[in-house]
Amino acid sequence: MSLLLGEQEFFKGIPKIQFEGQESDNPLAFRWYDENKVVAGKPMKEWLKFAGAYWHSFCGTGADPFGAPTHIFAWDKKLDAVERAKDKADAAFEFFTKLGLGYYCFHDVDVVDYTDDVVDNEKRLATITDYLHEKQKASGVQLLWGTANLFSNTKYMNGASTNPDFLVLTHAAAQVKSAIDATIKLGGTGYTFWGGREGYMSLLNTNMKREKEHLAKFLQVSRDYARANGFKGSFYIEPKPCEPSKHQYDYDAETVIGFLRQYDLLNDFKLNLEVNHATLAGHTMQHEMQIAADAGLLGSMDANRGDMQNGWDTDQFPNNINELTECMLIFIEAGGLNPGGINFDAKIRRNSTDPADLFYAHIGGMDTFARALIAADQILQKSDYKKIRANRYASFDAGNGQAFENGKLSLTDLRDIAAKSGVPEVISGKQEFLENLINRFI
């Protein structure tokens, strides 16, 4: 089998990862993710459009505030930025192909290093975009979404589109414009905005109203540019409550939906939800997904998990089967993600330094999703889960309850029904029963 290697093989000794089933003890094989297995009417690979995240897997060096890089990349050696970027693309596509990932996601600065020169950056990105285009054609791997990094460079320390200095906003616009061009050229199904610096560190120096209006204007002009240039995909906002800013304007799903509605962006934007952002916002991922699904805005997701003891975005690989099974119940009932996929916005730990570690991490994540998908499908098909939930609301299905839902009863009418009907029964919410039921199908 052709592995579509570049000049060098970066992950030597690692074969194409195959499905071997639950009995396999091969750590470099899938035990649950069987891409063509049909679950709930569709092959797994159609439900689970997995994507690799360029930034964590091919740029993240393992450096932390207390220590130097531990991930020393063989693709990061050449002196010329574009040549270095091509090696990185070779490594990335070797990895995607060996793992069987159908999609990938990137920020502009992940795929090629940027300078402070707008024109130079545009040229670099255009050059590497052509190279990525060739890699996509040769491998069949597709772009899930592109984005611009508007948070790492010094100039964005006070925000990008919400910066109080207009000139900084224009530099952010220049980056978004060429990242949109790259996304269009590469046939990306989405374009993501994650605003780590779009918020504040202190209200003492912040005009919040004005900053949010600037953010909305910036999104509108970006949308207009992309649509005028033929972008047919979905824009995503990726909510996160804080980190790196103390407070971020895209706090959580509910906040973002209100913002999109206020600025008339609902037709073009959906949500890209991330597990560890949900937990940072004091929610579960299930909560965020249900909010988005109910609004018809469940666009895409960033898969990872947090750490129970840490209050930051640790971006660990997903491995919590209960959490994901509950997510998959919402996911299947919503018909999956539309038009997005499942991007592994997750990083191996600083001290995971074997080339195989990146494979173990993704295999574990993909297997956990696959297993959760199967379990959730069984729960929906074979248990009373849906019925129990529906029955709790049965009193609204007919009679006065239905009249209330249809807006036919006044407050006085409701009062009169209460006076006439006596004391409500005590009715169990059956939470423990349902929790056991989830475990029974895992």
**Which residues contact Ni ion by CB under 5 A?**
274, 302, 313, 345
The phi and psi torsions of 51 (rounded to 5 degrees) equal: -130, 145
399-430: string of b/e by CB count within 10 Å (b at 16+)?
Answer: ebeeebeeeebeeeeeeeeeeeeeeeeeeeee
Q: How far is the CB of 313 from Ni ion (least distance, A)?
A: 5
Q: How far is the CB of 302 from Ni ion (least distance, A)?
A: 4
Answer yes or no: 315 catalytic. no
Interface with ligand XLS: number of residues (CB under 6 A): 10
Residues 309-348 that bind ligand XLS (CB under 6 A): 313, 345
DSSP string, 27-82: TTEESS--TT-EETTEEHHHH--EEEEHIIIII----BTTB------TTS--SSHH
> How large is the angle between the packed helices 81-99 and 118-139, nearest 10 degrees?
30
Q: 395 vs 281, 392, 398, 413, CA distance in Å?
A: 34, 8, 7, 16
Which residue lies nearer to Ni ion by CB, 320 or 383?
320
Q: How far out from the chain centre does Cα 281 lie?
A: 15
Q: Does 110 bind ligand XLS (CB under 6 A)?
A: no
Answer yes or no: 287 catalytic. no
The entry of ligand XLS, Ni ion, none near residue 178 (CB within 5 to 8 angstroms by kind) is none
Q: Does 211 bind ligand XLS (CB under 6 A)?
A: no
Annotated catalytic residue within 56, 107, 277, 362: 107
Q: Does 238 bind ligand XLS (CB under 6 A)?
A: yes
Residues 127-186 that bind ligand XLS (CB under 6 A): 147
Q: Are 298 and 334 in contact (CB under 8 A)?
A: yes
Q: Does 302 bind ligand XLS (CB under 6 A)?
A: yes
| Interface with ligand XLS (CB under 6 A), residue from 274, 288, 367, 377 | 274
Q: Which residues pair with 107 in a beta bridge?
A: 147
The entry of ligand XLS, Ni ion, none near residue 147 (CB within 5 to 8 angstroms by kind) is ligand XLS
Q: Are 378 and 441 in contact (CB under 8 A)?
A: yes
The phi and psi torsions of 52 (rounded to 5 degrees) equal: -90, 140
Q: How far is the CB of 144 from Ni ion (least distance, A)?
A: 12
Q: Does 249 bind ligand XLS (CB under 6 A)?
A: no
Q: Does 250 bind ligand XLS (CB under 6 A)?
A: no
Residues binding ligand XLS (CB under 6 A): 107, 147, 192, 194, 238, 240, 274, 302, 313, 345
Q: Which residues are catalytic?
A: 107, 110
